[in-house]
């Protein structure tokens, strides 16, 4: 059963203008959540884990939900937003992510809007007025916009149904580095103490969950943790060879399938894409430093074609609703087990077989350690980052089931042989690098 956004996967950017009167918001009364799910979202029933989260939010309880990619997180806050009086404010870290969800909601006939720096001011004002007038039930914002004194003051005078923080792991993983506004979200409770808050993420170990609950909810929230296993993704960690020949070999075996190659730096994405193009692959670089039009063009090609490989930094991923990505290759070592799980999870969201391949070399480990040491983060945070990097190195060096180790990191203990990682797979079933 597809998620709301996936039903509209052909729409990956919101319209520049929106006639809210053509899709008036619904505010069901004296009706149950299942009826709204069926009538407004077109689903026959809840997926595993959804109903408990929805009921918690409908009951006005501060809620943290950790649910794997493809589990239907968005519906868990979109549905209560339709059922509660007023409108919900949804904090989203990426413009592409906002545009994806708003476009999908509008296509489904649900009033939704957004406010972010990438739009014309008149459009932002239009969406604000629609929410205030009761014509929109969900208003998406970046944390930078929401945490301004002016916006907080304006929202205090509005009937808010819910405050939602999407991709809540950013509070822990990003807030200490360059998204300080995510840390500021914790101050929202003192301004909106009567408004329930909900936070969602696909990736959070015990420590990160504690970090989120402490910073966002003041230490108390109903927490739901669904299983982390993505059994359709085959996991492989291989020794990294110099140059691009190893990567080209992997892509040649997967030619004609959409995939992502994650690189550590902007420069590396461009160098890798150029080299792969010279070898006959339909490869494009993507990073936050590229002009917006270039990034939009790359995204459009990736969404519309099946033979595109995107060589990207982590800036490419959260806002991408392409369910049929067949492989994710890490050319360089990610920052942590959490980052690895988050990034590999972009493969196979349609439930069909997919692959996650990590190329691991000691040199990458040294570079990552230097990045931590040279950062401006507090010493305690650096210590935790080194610890997380050590855990990732242990996963890469392991000679036991990698899936079980990965799940164990998130507190999900398994002892069976998965048959879907490079340690457990029969040798004949593995593709040669």
Mean pLDDT split into 10-residue runs, the chain, 433 residues: 31 34 39 88 91 95 89 92 96 83 91 91 96 96 90 94 90 58 80 93 86 89 91 95 91 95 96 95 94 90 94 80 92 93 91 96 94 87 90 95 93 86 78 46
- Please, what are the domains in the chain? 4-225 (3.40.50.300), 233-429 (3.40.50.300)
| pLDDT digits 0-9 by tens, 301-358 | 999 999 999 999 987 876 677 889 999 999 999 999 988 998 999 999 888 999 999 9
* Predicted local distance difference test score (pLDDT) of residue 176: 53
CB–CB of 7/104 below 8 Å?
yes
C-alpha 298/C-alpha 258 separation (Å) is 13
What is the CB neighbour count within 10 angstroms for residue 51? Answer: 16
* Predicted local distance difference test score (pLDDT) of residue 23: 37
* Predicted local distance difference test score (pLDDT) of residue 175: 47
Which residues, in sequence order, are CB contacts of 362 under 8 Å at separation 6+?
Answer: none
* Predicted local distance difference test score (pLDDT) of residue 28: 41
Q: What is the pTM of this model?
A: 0.79
């Amino acid at each position: 059963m597809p998620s709301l956004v996936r039903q509209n996967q052909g729409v990956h950017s919101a319209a520049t203008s929106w006639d809210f009167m053509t899709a008036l918001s619904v505010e069901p009364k004296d009706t149950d959540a299942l009826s709204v799910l069926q009538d407004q979202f077109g689903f026959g029933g809840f997926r595993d884990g959804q109903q408990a989260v929805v009921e918690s939010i409908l009951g006005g309880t501060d809620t943290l939900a950790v649910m794997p990619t493809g589990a239907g997180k968005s519906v868990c806050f979109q549905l209560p937003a339709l059922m509660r009086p007023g409108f919900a404010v949804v904090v989203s870290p990426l413009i592409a992510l906002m545009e994806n969800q708003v476009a999908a909601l509008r296509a489904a006939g649900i009033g939704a809007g957004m406010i972010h720096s990438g739009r014309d001011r008149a459009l932002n004002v239009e969406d604000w007025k629609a929410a205030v007038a009761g014509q929109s039930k969900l208003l998406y914002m970046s944390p930078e916009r929401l945490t301004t004194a002016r916006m907080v003051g304006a929202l205090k005078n509005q009937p808010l149904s819910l405050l939602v923080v999407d991709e809540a792991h950013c509070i822990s993983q990003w807030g200490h580095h360059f998204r300080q506004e995510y840390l500021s979200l914790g101050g929202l409770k003192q301004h909106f103490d009567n408004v329930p808050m909900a936070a969602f993420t696909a990736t959070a170990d015990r420590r990160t969950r504690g970090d989120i609950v402490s910073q966002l909810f003041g230490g108390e929230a109903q927490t739901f943790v669904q299983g982390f296993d993505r059994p359709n993704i085959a996991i492989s960690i291989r020794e990294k060879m110099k140059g691009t020949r190893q990567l080209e070999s992997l892509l040649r075996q997967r030619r004609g399938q959409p995939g992502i190659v994650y690189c550590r730096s902007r420069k590396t994405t461009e160098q890798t894409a150029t080299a792969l193009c010279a070898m006959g692959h339909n490869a494009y670089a993507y990073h936050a430093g590229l002009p917006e039009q270039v990034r939009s063009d790359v995204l459009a090609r990736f969404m519309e074609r099946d033979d595109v490989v995107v060589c990207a930094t982590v800036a490419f991923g959260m806002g991408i609703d392409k369910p049929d990505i067949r492989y994710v290759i890490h050319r360089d070592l990610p920052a942590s087990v959490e980052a690895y799980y988050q990034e590999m999870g972009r493969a196979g969201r349609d439930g069909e077989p997919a692959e996650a391949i990590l190329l691991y070399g000691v040199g990458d480990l040294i570079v990552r350690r230097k990045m931590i040491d040279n950062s401006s983060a507090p010493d305690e945070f650096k210590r935790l980052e080194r610890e997380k990097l050590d855990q990732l190195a242990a996963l890469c060096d392991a000679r036991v089931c990698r899936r079980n180790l990965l799940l164990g990191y998130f507190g999900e203990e398994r002892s069976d042989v998965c048959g879907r990682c490079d340690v457990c797979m029969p040798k004949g079933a593995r593709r040669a690098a």
